[in-house]
Structure 1
Amino acid sequence: MLLEYFKSALPEKMVIFLTEQKVTSPSKAAVLADEFVLTHTNAKGPPSPPQGDRECFYCHKKGHIIVDCFSLKHKQFSPNLPQSKGMGLKSVTTRYQDVTKSRP
């Protein structure tokens, strides 16, 4: 009686699994149900949000992310567009006082 009540609260795949295991006690069913959940969960973590909710950090359009951005890919692989030059380091200056020379 308790076993049937326990099974009625479970997903269909888990009930089929427990039936195949020929479980006779609610405690054994609970242990097997826990094992079933552990072995049948997605190891990648929670599912990613739907594509429509995402916003690209490059073009700020919704529906994709920067990895899939058509505008960025077009800019990178277009031979007709001049490539922008990055700003580099021109020079480094430091103020260094030689303390070894000032000692008596």
Structure 2
Amino acid sequence: MASDRPRTSISAWRPPVPGIAEAFHAHFTNHAYPAHTHDAWDLMILDDGSLSFVRMLGAGLTLTILLDTFLIRLVLVPSVMRLAGSVNRWAPAPLRRWHARHGFSD
């Protein structure tokens, strides 16, 4: 029955609707999910022609990466590890036995 399915199709056009600069439609028939879940996936994107959302998303992503790099990884993680002490080095029993057998220690 897979040969009866329509093929994947992608189309884009400029609709005669005020405020919409471009419309994009994709119909996917081949995907990684098992055949019994869905026969096809459809995706529709409407673009108003402005880049404000993209700029806002880029600025937010940049700020998030900078906060993660400088605040969380350089300040908070080492501080929490220092406060937690030996709890940071917790290991399951089999791994502790393996460490003891092979001479690993703090």
> Could you say which structure has the larger radius of gyration?
1
Which has the bigger relative contact order, CA under 8 A and spacing at least 6? 2
By percentage of residues, which structure has more helix?
2
TM-score (norm 1): 0.24
TM-score (norm 2): 0.24
By percentage of residues, which structure has more strand?
2
